[in-house]
Amino acid sequence: MALKNTDYSVKYRRAESSVLTEQPKVVFGACPHDCPDGCSMLYKVKEGRLLKVNGNPDQPFTRGRLCVKLKDFAQHHYNPDRVLYPLRRSGPKGSGEFVRISWDEALDEIKQRWQKLIEDFGAETILPYGYAGNMGLLNGMNSGDAFFNKLGTTISEKTFCGSSAVTSQLMTIGPALGTDPESFLQSKFILIWGGNTVSTNSHLWPFIASAQKDGAKVVVIDPYRSRTAKLADWHIAPKPGTDGALALALINLIVENDWLDQDYVDQYTQGFDDLKAVAAAFSADKAENITGIKAEEINRLAYEYANTQPSVIRVGIGLERHPNGGQAIRAIDCLPALIGAWRHAGGGLLQMPVFVPVRGEFLSRPDWIKEDTRVVNLSNLADTLTNDELNPAINALFIWNANPVSKLPNANKAVEGLLREDLFTVVSEQFITDTALYADLILPATMAAEHNDIVTSWGHFYITMNQKAIDPPGETVSNFELFQRLAERFGFDDPRFTKTDKEILAEALDWDAPLLQGRSFKMLEENGFIRINVPEKSISRPHAEGNFPTPSGKCEFRSSLDTSSGFVAPVLRQMLAGRQTGRPIDSVPNYILDDQCQDKNECSDKTLPLHLISPKSHAFLNSQYANEAHKLRKQEQQFVLISPADADARQISEGDSVRIFNQLGEVGANARVTTDVSNGTVVATFGYWPGRNLLNGSVNALTKSQIPGFAGTPYYNDTLVEIEKLPKEAIRIRDKKQ
């Protein structure tokens, strides 16, 4: 069948050109993507056509600017490759051969096959797999939870990103919002730790740049010299995974040199003596041996951070993707309280301000989960689908908002599972991705301008309304509508499944909570966004007198939370409808040295010489947009950054096609020989679709599949590889595949 909707694209262009001189209608939008910026947008519509998507200039944080990923968001809606109708596989799995069917046929087949599987094996034979392809409350990663909880399926634990970071934060400063990002304008020392703000949090950068212009010092801690590091005053490059040792050394130096705010420590913290004892083992010299950073540089960093106020830390997500990552973040979270940075507007720490009062119990209905229902961590999908001893086996997989073949650890093994003829796979998608190729049924999904939703942020203090601007093309449906239809097919008549999207949205937030006091759903509809009820940036000092939302009310250097069963953030537990079964977490942050490692999940594999880290790409959003030629031109083909010494040792030159490999797989890339990385470290951004890459590989496929010990976050940045130059005869021509 023809999968390109050429007529659709042509009709759009004709309609666009015919109305450009007329005044369009403006509708409020919200960026749906997995990004901390959560942009407020404006949809411009005329005669049912989406003409343009602009940033909303009235929103104080995003200020009317869209990033490189969203600048052509209107045209993205009219991509001729979109899936517009339900499709059934007509050839072998992975062949890309599909035929169009009706929605009734698709829903009937799902019900018939699932009911038979439930009769034979029980509902836990079905595994839902939804993640962050959409971040809306109705259409996001949890949009299917209520339906699957009612059906009684296996619970999918979704801890790919943020679980360790949020758990660390909760154990130290509680469910706090942290420092208002707009107050960075007042900061004098800005430490960006483990984040590439310019590429992945770009709307924060103007606030940082403005403070820098006014005399603030900007320091970036990152294993490679990212776009952000190149704009900073000082770049510090520790060996990957050693941030915890650096943070503990900073704590030790601050204590030893009496750079503390002792009054703040005495009044507003808990467990100082315990933290002091742990940190005492990490001198600057010892930290140098671990991190590769000179002792004098560590001393200088500790002094300048502790003695320049207001000082603020922006904690990135890259930190958590190591065996010591969660504990590293806990140690970093202790730093502002040690020096009293919380006393100052523009001081403290911004990490994951995700604690907006969403009514997760209403949206996901975790009360419908039966006791002892099986939990599967989705990062371990490869082993789950290929486990012959699993009882019951996973015989049905439902995927939405996700492209696991591109993103999943050990993805090649996951593909083995997806090729099983006895696995009934349904994928709700906008395009035929590398994952959708293995589907038995593909269901067409809407894009943001085609449905209603609310988007909360994990990077600022605003909630944003997304209003349906145009009718969905073809027979596409929103995730909300999809699961309402499935619920109706299975005879679920609970109010959660019979209300309209706007009715559900009106109840999705707890409007009686203090953070939403004086706000309303009507205000959100009328203004497009609302700021939660916190002090304005100029006077924002949320923890000047403690008031941490922890059990003790203090910053807890020694956590008082019960970690005996492998603690996962309570807020996350509700959001994820799952539970973590890992080992207990130490009550005081620490760093596990290789020679002290006992848990194999916390031990680094030393069998290969190069340490691969895989940060986000600049022009893609995870794997979104990696199928669009103009975005690929901006991002360029899959590349790997390698130091001159490591390149010379392998006879690799700038621009050579190379093979990155380990025991799990391989991926082809173009070599960029650069001093932006240190010897022994290589960088290859993720998000590329494997089928469009040299050697049909993805970077994340080189990561081990396992359930890590700290809050379930995969160790993407704890991957060891080798690299070799590819002979010309082995190079596939990618242009033909695109």
| Percent share of the chain, pLDDT over 70 | 90
Q: Residue 84 — very low, low, confident or very high, per pLDDT cuts 50/70/90? A: very high
Q: Which of 315, 330, 350 is the last residue of a domain?
A: 350
Q: Which carries the bigger pLDDT value, residue 317 or residue 729?
A: 317
Q: How much of the chain exceeds pLDDT 90, in percent?
A: 84
297 membership: H or E segment, kind and range? helix 295-306
Predicted local confidence at residue 728, as pLDDT = 74
Residue 396 lies in a domain: no
End position of a domain, from candidates 323, 350, 377: 350
Report the CATH number that the domain containing residue 631 is assigned in CATH: 2.40.40.20
Cα separation, 355 vs 456, in Å, equals 10
Are 284 and 256 within 8 A, CB to CB? no
Asked whether residue 565 carries a pLDDT value surpassing 60, the answer given is: no
Q: CATH number for the domain including 262?
A: 3.40.228.10
> Would you say residue 131 lies in a domain?
no
DSSP per-residue codes, 101-125: --HHHHHHHHHHHHHHHHHHH-GGG
pLDDT at residue 9 tops 90 = no
**Each residue of 530-561: pLDDT tens digit?**
999 998 766 789 999 999 999 999 999 999 98
Domain presence at residue 699: yes
Which residues constitute the domain of residue 647? 602-737
Residue 594: its pLDDT value, please? 63
Which residue, 350, 374, 408, sits at the end of a domain?
350
Total count of domains within the chain: 2
Does any domain span residue 206? yes
Alpha helices in 606-707 (DSSP H): 629-635, 644-649
Q: What is the pLDDT of residues 154-190, one digit of tens each?
A: 999 998 998 889 999 999 999 999 999 999 999 999 9
Residue 301 has pLDDT above 90, yes or no: yes
The answer to whether position 74 is within a domain reads no
Which amino acid is residue 226, in one-letter code? S
The answer as to whether 390 is a domain residue is no
Provide the mean pLDDT of the chain.
91
Residue 23 or 279, more confident: 279
Residue 612 falls inside a structural domain = yes
pTM (whole model) above 0.75: yes
**465 touches 125 (CB < 8 A):** no
Could you tell me if residue 146 is inside a domain? no
Q: Which residues contact 597 (CB under 8 A, 6 or more apart)?
A: 323, 603, 604
